[in-house]
Amino acid sequence: MIRIPTTYWYLALCAAWLLPGLLGHSPWKGPESETFAQLLAARQQSDWLFPVSSYGAGVFPLPFVWLAGVLGNLFAPLMPLHDAARLTSGIFAGLSLWLTALTARRLYGEQSGWMAALALLGCMGLLVPVHEINAYTVQLAAAALFAYGLARMLEETLVGGGLAGLGLAGLFMSGAWLVAAGLSISLLLLPALFPSWRSSARVGGSWFALTVGLALIGAWLLAAGSRHPDRLVQWWQQGAMGHLVFLAMENARYNPFYFLYALTWFAWPAWPLAAWAVYRLKRGGWDSFRLWMPLGIFLVSLLAISLQTGTEQLQSIVLLPALAMLAGAGLGDLRRGAANALLWFSLMVFSFFALVFWVYWSAFDLGWPSQLARRVAKLGLKSEGIRPLSLLLGVAVTAIWTGWLIWLKRQQRTPQRPLLVWGAGIAFVWCLLMALFQRPLDDRLSLVRVAEQIKAHAGDAICVKTVNLNQTQRLLLAYHTGLEFRSLNSDSCGWLLGYRKSRKEVPPGEGWIKRWDGARPGEKSERYWLYERK
């Protein structure tokens, strides 16, 4: 029998977690729609140097805009722009897994590398963002790149310094400028904190990292300032400095422990494994670089993001690579009781979710149980009978998961098994969800069905003026219909589209005839009305 190398099994697991859901559906309601709308606005500006966010003074993360633009042009004949943009998130997420594994491998050994990657992909808060059009994935990759560069500086100072500098520039240009500043200061303090870092080569590597980072950041700031000085000043005053807690307004919402609370679920199960690793690694001394490199990156980054107001949970994504590296190191000597607890918890949780998904599939495709089927119908998930392809894919995914568990049971027990089961389990439930429900969810959560109705009634319109629609809605509807949606002040349009977060119609006045009204399937909290001028 041919024995497949372990590396290929891990690569297959990472691919099974990363690839499903990246392609084949329109932008969904929520953060993905908002991010894609900002990307559309940036493309309309045709300014790849300083694409201003449509939602304030912030600059849209440059690396995401650049890569999404390249992929959009490269794959234009093969895939729509929204799939290319979502693929951008997948590339940055895959790069993060790879760099996290390489860093842990250099610090703690070969086996810890793959375990760190599994700890990262197993983080519960990471599952949905990496399968969305989400610019925060740039911060994830940049944080992992900085850590890898720092670890590589132990042996190759210039190469490692250059990579760390690229990571700092990536953090700055993706919006985590305060994290980049904190890590830059930490680089200068390394010789004072660690005797092993006082060699001329490593000190030079630290300065080289700062030089590379500052050169890239400075080049962008100079180029942007020469073309858009007003934008740059506004971004710095409002988008960057405006969120610092020291300069915030008195009524600004601020909780210094917000991210610690968020990490309890967002970084599960990486954070308890990382805490165990810190406990074990401190036996080698508190001056151990293997302990303090990821721990220091985590603490500095946590402090940096905690000094900002207007926070959201996704900002903690920058903390995950360091936690995952420590988690990979802590598995080798994990207590048997803790390992078994994580193992059985994983099996119960993911088996429960699999059962729930199959029950909902039965209600959706077969109409049984009938009460649940009626509830699913009220959610806007319209059944078309049995879908053979979805059924086949769901059965295949479930069979692979079951067969893998049977195979794993016959293998020798190792400390890595619990995290392996958790990572495989989270990949399994995501694959199963996409196999059974990607198309119904697309109908429910995207604006495609609304756009189709507008296109069917006003397909020959020169433009459509809008009432109460925000910029995200206008940009997405324009993207899906090919029509031009203008503000209410435009008097030259023969069509009008109104929107309200209620079902109560507010007629636009005399001179208009209603041609259509509707909403997303199952959406009860919003309504669209389409009128034609008499």
Q: What is the pLDDT of residues 358-367, one digit of tens each?
A: 999 999 999 9
Of 445, 476, 500, the domain-final residue: 445
Cα–Cα distance for residue pair 475/313, rounded to 1 Å: 26
Q: What phi and psi values does residue 248 have, to the nearest 5 degrees?
A: -75, 160
Average pLDDT, the chain: 89
pLDDT band at 1 (very low <50, low <70, confident <90, very high): very low
Q: Is the pLDDT of residue 309 over 70?
A: yes
Three-state secondary structure of 40-102: HHHHHHCCCCCCECCCCCCECCHHHHHHHHHHHHHCCCCCCHHHHHHHHHHHHHHHHHHHHHH
Verify that 528 and 453 share a domain, yes or no: yes
Same domain, 314 and 462: no
Tokens for 369? 């149980």
Q: Is the pLDDT of residue 96 over 70?
A: yes
Please report whether residue 12 resides in a domain. Answer: no
Overall average pLDDT of the 407-436 stretch: 92
**Burial label, 145 (beta-carbon count in 10 A; 0-12, 13-18, 19+):** buried
Residue at token pair 């988690």 = 327
Looking at the structure, tell me whether residues 434 and 508 fall in a common domain.
no
3-state secondary structure of 440: helix
Instruction: Report yes or no on 32 lying in a domain.
Output: no
Question: Is residue 51 situated within a structural domain?
Answer: no
**140 and 253 together in one domain:** yes
Q: Say if residue 284's pLDDT is above 70.
A: no
pLDDT of residue 44: 81
316 and 353 fall within a common domain: no
Range of the domain at 506: 448-533
Q: Which of 413, 445, 477 is the last residue of a domain?
A: 445
Residues 146 and 225 in one domain: yes
Range with lowest mean pLDDT among 117-126, 252-261, 272-281, 392-401: 252-261
316, 129 in Cβ contact below 8 A? no
Reduced to 3 states (helix: H, G, I; strand: E, B; else coil), residue 484 is: coil
pLDDT confidence bin for 286, thresholds 50/70/90 = low
Q: Which amino acid, 166?
A: L
Same domain flag for 271 and 315: yes
- One domain, residues 202 and 311: yes
Total count of domains within the chain: 3
Whether residue 343 has pLDDT greater than 50:
yes
How confident is residue 452, by pLDDT bands cut at 50, 70 and 90?
very high
Residue with the bigger pLDDT between 28 and 54: it is 28
Residue 298 has pLDDT above 60, yes or no: yes
106 plus 236 within the same structural domain:
yes
**pLDDT at position 57, please?**
46
Token readout for 491 is: 């008097």
Residue 55 has pLDDT above 70, yes or no: no
Per-residue pLDDT band at 316 (split at 50, 70, 90)? very high
Model confidence at 5, pLDDT cuts 50, 70, 90, reads low
Q: CB neighbours of 275 closer than 8 A, spacing ≥ 6?
A: 330
Residue 81 lies in a domain: yes
The predicted pLDDT at position 2 comes to: 43
Please choose, from the candidates 306, 85, 81, 17, the residue with its C-alpha nearest in 3D space to the C-alpha of residue 179: 306
168 and 301 fall within a common domain:
yes
In a shared domain, residues 493 and 419: no
Beta carbons of 472 and 41 less than 8 angstroms apart: no
Strongest mean pLDDT among 196-205, 330-339, 442-451: 442-451
pLDDT at residue 248 above 70? no
Residue 223: HSE in the Cβ half-sphere, 13 Å Cα cutoff:
11
